[in-house]
Chains A and B, each alone.
Chain A
Amino acid sequence: MRLPVKKTYKLYIGGSFPRSESGRSYEVEGANVALASKKDLRDAVRAAREAFPKWAGMTAYNRGQVLYRMAEIMEGRRAQFAELVGGEAEVDEAIDSWVWYAGWADKLAQVLGSSNPVAGPYFNFSIPEPTGVVGVVAPEEPPLAGLVARLAPAIVGGNAVVLVASERRPLAAVTLAEVLATSDVPSGVVNVLTGRKSDLCPVLAAHMDVNAVDLSGADDDRAELERLAADNVKRVVRNAEGQSPWHVAAFLELKTVWHPIGV
């Protein structure tokens, strides 16, 4: 009889898989999962901040292809994910979600931007830009589709993400991190933390180098987290919409430029 090799579930920060700095883990879904510390979270924010300019500076077409590649790799691991989440339907939903958002990358500026007819010799236009580092609190359920539905819209516009995984169902998030690591998503653009939401979310919400937070997975703590988020006027998503470019817009700034016209 062959003894199967069991996986060690680690964190995903800045493109590598560290154990929690605290060395602690918790038992869930039949595995030992890393219990990220506050320092791990701060490391993840730093990694995201570092990765942000390059990701934001890529062409929209390129970002779209990177997201599409996520769908391709997940399709190849369909069976593995299905086993984790208990069914193919959820995996398909997650894959289709990547495909849908991949197609948005080079359309956001056209749908969300505008050229504005102002008085005076100026070409005036408004364009969406990524806000920077986004904290995403993944919903507890569904473990994979819920995660991708929150993650894809946060990164498609050029933001870098620190993601706090479902506490009760974290394995899908860790496995997704493996997909991210082998995909073309640059290191640090997505950082995945597992552990206690009650430890991690307040630090994430209060962190002065995080620009926006999606708290739709934060359940009962939302009010307190929102209060902390006000310390640096974070953009807050309270209840995430379904699949929609307006959900993407929640993590985008609008920049308006007055460009002179003259000879």
Chain B
Amino acid sequence: MTELERKQDRSPVPSGFDYAPAPESRDVVRLEKRYGLFIGGEFVEPRSGEFHSSISPATEEPLAEVAYAGPEDVALAVTAARDAFENGWSEIAPSERAKYLFRIARILQERSREFAVLESLDGGKPIRESRDVDLPLSAAHFFYYAGWADKLEYAFPSRKPRPVGVAGQIIPWNFPLLMLSWKIAPALASGNTVVLKPAETTPLTALLFCDVLRQAELPPGVVNIVTGDGRAGAEIVKHPGVDKVAFTGSTDVGKEIQRALAGTEKKLTLELGGKAANVIFDDAALDQAVEGIINGIYFNQGHVCCAGSRLLVQETIYEQTIAKLKRRMGTLRVGDPLDKNTDVGAINSKQQLDKIRELVAAGEEEGAEIYQPPCRLPEKGWWFPPTVFTNVAQSYRIAQEEIFGPVLSVLTFRTPDEAVEKANNTPYGLSAGVWTEKGSRILWMAQHLRAGVIWANTYNRFDPASPFGGYKESGFGREGGLHGLEPYLRFE
């Protein structure tokens, strides 16, 4: 340890730099008072007659009234998608199909500020993230898959790829527009039509996306957006007119969907929960690794299925790492999602906040040691400070269950074998992180970790060309890359 490092580690946790507020203007977003369902290319009143308010989690302010789709509404959406599939969309030249997707990508780029602000308003994530991650990646996904639309036979040579038909897609609230893009882009590129249900708490960017579809002149019925809660999701899953179901969300709901589709011929892909290990070896560039730990668990308030929620630190550098980590946690700014300086935004919903609190209480009760940097949380809205647990046993609930919040559990290891054993000791297998300067060790770890995505000396990095998806109870099927096309195709 150099003199400088030692000094830093002993220095007190900074009280937080003072920044002048730098809020992003809300004027760029124009919301309707009330939204119907987007079916057959236009907004229609829900037959269910039910609405609810989409609420800003940072202020608890109602943003707009949004429909709860009922069984009849879902049936109408599926019929519209089926019509569009059979009467036109599947006959359009693939090269023309590609052009619609390119258009959508371009419009998303042009309107990215508007979308970013709305995403942060509706979901509570920091504008820095919606601006720099969600929006660029959403546009990139459409751009990437646009190019595949007329090249499918090169992706699957000698397999005669054909569209499946109507895709029913159900997405979560953590990356609303990005998950929509992950679902819709490959589905359309493969020639399918879509019925998509955004999450109950974050429907607004999906509804604004309907305006992008209008601008892109996508034929009516090719994409239908039905808002609602789990009941609407269940209707989509069981509707006989749906040929393929794609779900991103919790493992419990994923299992229910798999059960519901038992005995049918519907295709299914599931992208479910995770409890990823982020493994730090003693030769890692430690400051860089600490940034990776922070990004791994506090990115998007920890509302990330692949979040690095279990930190595995090699024993020899344990104290040093924890000291640096706590110091860095003290510089995280928690607050207004629309402020460009904000690092950690609001917890997405009251319900999610309760879940986080419950698990954190369980962690304390089981004997783990909690640390939260001093930070002042806004009075209104739903918030949880960045949290780290040390002294955690593998059997604790906070080491086993997905918390889906800004809560990190720290474990230690001595040898690579022990690191692998602990990392794999979970029913999940979505992702993992490895930090070391040794390339051969990166690949050895990558070989032994049972997870679908391995990040080495980085974390939470995404790219439309990179397949994403889980092992074990984290689900099956891949999104992104060439492999992300397959779930939307059948082969003759």
Spell out A's residues near B (CB within 8 Å): 114, 116-120, 122, 124, 126, 131, 211, 222-227, 229-233, 235, 238, 246, 253-260
Out of A235, A238, A257, name the residue touching B456 (CB < 8 Å).
A257
**A126-B483, A233-B472 known; A116 vs B254 contact (CB < 8 Å):** no
A120 neighbours in B (Cβ, 8 Å): 458, 461, 463
**Chain B residues within 8 Å of chain A by Cβ, number:** 44
The reply to whether the CB of B258 lies closer than 8 angstroms to some CB of chain A is yes
Distance between Cα atoms of A246 and B155 in the complex (Å): 13
B473 adjacent to A124 (CB under 8 Å)? no
Q: Which 5 A-B pairs rank lowest in CB-CB distance, beginning with the nearest?
A: A223-B263, A226-B262, A230-B258, A118-B463, A227-B262
The residue on A at minimum CB distance from B481 is: A116
Out of B159, B251, B270, B471, name the residue touching A253 (CB < 8 Å).
B471
The reply to whether the CB of B357 lies closer than 8 angstroms to some CB of chain A is no
**A122-B458, A230-B258, A253-B452 known; A258 vs B466 contact (CB < 8 Å):** yes
List residues of B (262-290) whose CB comes within 8 Å of A's CBs: 262-263, 265, 270, 272
**B196-204, B207-215, B392-400, B439-447 - the one binding chain A:** B439-447
B461 neighbours in A (Cβ, 8 Å): 118, 120, 122, 258
**A124-B466, A233-B472 known; A238 vs B442 contact (CB < 8 Å):** no
13 A-B pairs within 8 Å (CB atoms) are namely A114-B481, A117-B465, A120-B463, A122-B458, A222-B262, A227-B259, A229-B262, A232-B427, A255-B453, A257-B456, A258-B455, A259-B443, A259-B456
List residues of B (341-360) whose CB comes within 8 Å of A's CBs: none
B258 adjacent to A235 (CB under 8 Å)? no
**A233-B472, A260-B457 known; A226 vs B263 contact (CB < 8 Å):** yes
**A255-B454, A256-B453 known; A230 vs B262 contact (CB < 8 Å):** yes
The reply to whether the CB of B476 lies closer than 8 angstroms to some CB of chain A is yes
B255 neighbours in A (Cβ, 8 Å): 230-231, 233
Distance between Cα atoms of A120 and B453 in the complex (Å): 16
The residue on B at minimum CB distance from A114 is: B482
A232 neighbours in B (Cβ, 8 Å): 427, 472-473
Tell me, rounded to whole Å, the shortest Cβ–Cβ distance linking A213 to chain B.
12
A227 neighbours in B (Cβ, 8 Å): 259, 262-263
Tell me, rounded to whole Å, the shortest Cβ–Cβ distance linking A28 to chain B.
28
B467 adjacent to A254 (CB under 8 Å)? yes
The residue on B at minimum CB distance from A230 is: B258
A238 adjacent to B265 (CB under 8 Å)? yes
B262 neighbours in A (Cβ, 8 Å): 222-227, 229-230
The reply to whether the CB of B154 lies closer than 8 angstroms to some CB of chain A is no
